[in-house]
Amino acid sequence: MKRISKFSVLVIAVALLSPALAHGVDSIPEQWATLPAPGASYIGYEANESAFANTEASTWINFTSDTGKIDGKVTKVAICDTGSEDGCTYSVYSSYRAVLPVCTDATDINCISEIFATDANGSKLAIGTPTVFPENNPQAFAGNKALNVPRGSGAALVSIAGAPHAGGDKYLVKTTLSSKRTDDQTTFQTPRLSASITAVKIIEGDFFDLATETNTAKYDQVGRIAVGTTQTKQGLDGKPSKLCVAASTTQCALPYSMPKEVAFGFSLRLNTNLSGWLHGRMKNAVIDYKTTNGVTNLTVNANPIAVPVVDVWSKSEDLTDAHVAAYLPQFWGGEAMHYPLSNETGGLPITDAEKTRDGMKNISFKHINGSFSKSSMDNFLLWLPIAKDKAAAMPTQWRLGTMTDNGSGPVRECLDKEKALAGVVTTNSTMYLDGPPVFADGTLDYKVASTHYEADGTTLFKGTYELIMSSTVARCIYKFTSAPISATVSITSESGVANTATTVISEKNGWLKLGAYGFTFSSPTVRVKLTQEVVKPVAVKKITITCVKGKTSKKVIAVKPKCPSGYRKK
């Protein structure tokens, strides 16, 4: 099975797990393996955010082209440590992803300053001494402060004895900063944050770790591999590297379900301002964000949530004409097989001819959802009825990341004005739009979509939505004063019918928090309306006095009247 990537420089291990092992009654949701193609003339769809967890590893690469321009032919792909290595002098395009280490002392920067967890009663749990996983990362790098490149390490592996899970008591805390440099920029752009906490078990075996492709022949342009490289090597008990949250050549961090009653969190110390919006997979989130003397401290604490995975195949002939037409103009990024099967070494892209009904008879193709755009939302809704409106699996997640879209109108204007963290949006719905709420007609609207049912096909899936917004940004959007804010949260179904939900609203420590819980799907709109009571000005009583100067007199009217110079009060 071939994974074809439109924009990818990492070699991602792809392998199949036997259906009995991956999809049995007692299978672990976090170890869901993609459903294999049934054969020719099948088209599929998968929405599984966790499937890309193993791609979040440290790497710093620099591209050189024959013309010195972004559209030139790739002549060198260099792996960098400090930026002084051969091929690492910036020319057309450079990018890094830095998995942040644990801070070595109180002055260390761009690192994890604390990891913590609390039980259901709010008591702090003991955290073991963190170690680095994987220990020997061949693509770890020292970074370069002058270029604003932090050092890249491995994730933090800790034991939390008070939070046991089915695979033991170990947790992997992975926080990354990523950025790129292009278009003659003098330094790297403001980095994007991505963070996750995962319950794991470290297993021994023979695995593939991530490696940057340095063969220039593989690239059809700077930063893009024309056809994905496939690897099928497996480790202990047949577990493929694709299921590992992180891996080395000999070890795999295999994910397990997280205890939902335990709140997990971390604190980061950064030398960059995280301006913009964050989105996450968590519940009951509490954040603290402060920037002092150029140092930013971000603390996040929240419970994990279960997010439905959608994974489904359909005979191409059973798809509606509207369904096929919707996919025809799109880039087909996903997993493909061509029939009759051939010995393809790098995979073959899907041609336009194969996107037709006749062409589909000779292929199987699974669309892999990799974003939260408007088109991704539309595709998800196309496949929802075919998936029978139920989840394939319900893995737990604890994730946080920078939004791609920072909004428009007053939302964007106020973000640009404040130049600080505007807020965090979290939800357990499979699909949502990667951006802040849309401000229109006095309300902040947010679109979500998911299955009606959990993996058993009978249990109603209950949605959660939380908006944590800077009080300053909220007041800017609504042009409010510093007086207290009131809010209402409503859930409206796609047909316009009100959806029952429990809502929570509070304002504390400079953050306005709104939450909606227990609503059902498929694609409701969460609507938030903020209000503020208009304070009427208090009428001030004015006093009239008469002032005289010789035979001249005049009246003075004021709150505290006073005679002009040379006049006396009569």
Q: What is the pLDDT of residues 19-39, one digit of tens each?
A: 333 454 458 999 998 899 999
- pLDDT the model gives residue 407: 77
- pLDDT the model gives residue 189: 85
Residue 415 half-sphere exposure toward CB, CA atoms < 13 A: 23
Q: Say if residue 407 is in the same domain as residue 493.
A: yes
User: 502-543: per-residue pLDDT in tens?
Assistant: 777 788 888 888 888 888 878 888 888 888 776 666 677 888
Q: What angle do CA 155, 82, 213 make, to 5 degrees?
A: 70
Q: Please report whether residue 112 resides in a domain.
A: no
Pick from 250, 236, 234, 244: nearest CA to 198: 244
- pLDDT the model gives residue 418: 76
SS3 360: helix
**What is the phi-psi region of residue 359: left when phi exceeds 0, alpha when psi lies from -120 to 50, beta otherwise?**
alpha
Average pLDDT over residues 456-460: 93
- pLDDT the model gives residue 226: 62
| pLDDT over 90 at 267, yes or no | yes
- pLDDT the model gives residue 310: 96
Q: Please report whether residue 44 resides in a domain.
A: no
Q: Say if residue 450 is in the same domain as residue 500.
A: yes
| pLDDT over 60 at 100, yes or no | yes
- pLDDT the model gives residue 514: 86
Amino acid letter for position 231: Q
Q: Please report whether residue 519 resides in a domain.
A: yes
- pLDDT the model gives residue 347: 53
Cβ pair 143, 156 in contact under 8 A: no
Q: Say if residue 414 is in the same domain as residue 455.
A: yes
Q: Which residues on neighbouring strands pair with residue 298, listed in sequence order?
A: 268, 289
Q: Say if residue 483 is in the same domain as residue 414.
A: yes
Q: DSSP letter for 20, please.
A: H
Q: What angle do CA 127, 133, 136 make, to 5 degrees?
A: 145
Q: Say if residue 430 is in the same domain as residue 526.
A: yes
Q: Please report whether residue 480 resides in a domain.
A: yes
- Percent of the chain whose predicted confidence (pLDDT) is above 90: 46
User: 373-419: per-residue pLDDT in tens?
Assistant: 888 999 999 999 999 999 999 999 999 999 887 777 888 888 888 77
| pLDDT over 90 at 68, yes or no | no
When mean pLDDT is compared across 144-158, 313-327, 330-344, 467-481, the lowest value belongs to 330-344
Q: Please report whether residue 292 resides in a domain.
A: no
Q: What is the pTM of this model?
A: 0.85
When mean pLDDT is compared across 76-85, 226-235, 364-373, 374-383, the lowest value belongs to 226-235
Q: Say if residue 434 is in the same domain as residue 486.
A: yes
Q: Say if residue 511 is in the same domain as residue 420.
A: yes
DSSP string, 63-114: EEESSSSTTSPEEEEEE-SSS-STT-S-SSEEEEEEEPPBPSSTT--SEEEE
Q: Say if residue 511 is in the same domain as residue 550.
A: no
d(CA 447, CA 450): 11
- pLDDT the model gives residue 263: 98
Q: Say if residue 435 is in the same domain as residue 506.
A: yes
Average pLDDT over residues 300-316: 96
Q: Say if residue 421 is in the same domain as residue 518.
A: yes
- pLDDT the model gives residue 135: 86
Q: Please report whether residue 277 resides in a domain.
A: no
The more confidently predicted of residues 46 and 416 is 46
- pLDDT the model gives residue 454: 95
When mean pLDDT is compared across 1-10, 159-168, 209-218, 425-434, the lowest value belongs to 1-10
Calculate the average pLDDT of the chain. 85
Average pLDDT over residues 105-130: 96
Strands 251-256 and 93-99: unpaired
Average pLDDT over residues 313-322: 94
User: 147-171: per-residue pLDDT in tens?
Assistant: 889 999 999 999 999 999 999 999 9
| pLDDT over 80 at 177, yes or no | yes
Q: Please report whether residue 3 resides in a domain.
A: no
When mean pLDDT is compared across 104-113, 194-203, 244-253, 325-334, the lowest value belongs to 325-334
Q: Please report whether residue 465 resides in a domain.
A: yes
d(CA 350, CA 227): 10
348 band by pLDDT with thresholds 50, 70 and 90: low
Sign, Cα dihedral of 195, 419, 108, 468? negative
The values of phi and psi at residue 212, to 5°, are -75, 135
Greatest CA separation found in the chain?
116
Instruction: Give yes or no for a cis peptide into 340 (omega within 30° of 0).
Output: yes
> Which CATH number fits the domain that encloses residue 472?
2.60.40
Strands (E), 293-406: 295-303, 305-306, 310-315, 334-338, 363-368, 396-397, 399-402
Q: In what order do the strands lie in the sheet with 310-315?
A: 2-4, 334-338, 363-368, 42-47, 310-315
Sign, Cα dihedral of 449, 454, 459, 461? negative
User: 424-452: per-residue pLDDT in tens?
Assistant: 999 999 999 888 888 888 888 888 999 99
Tokens of 239: 């577990």
| pLDDT over 70 at 13, yes or no | no
Cβ pair 278, 401 in contact under 8 A: yes
Q: Say if residue 511 is in the same domain as residue 562.
A: no
Looking at the structure of the chain, the number of domains it has is 2
345 band by pLDDT with thresholds 50, 70 and 90: very low
269 band by pLDDT with thresholds 50, 70 and 90: very high
Place of tokens 């047909």: 495
Residue 307 half-sphere exposure toward CB, CA atoms < 13 A: 26
Determine the structural domain holding residue 489 and report its residue range: 403-531
Q: Say if residue 479 is in the same domain as residue 556.
A: no
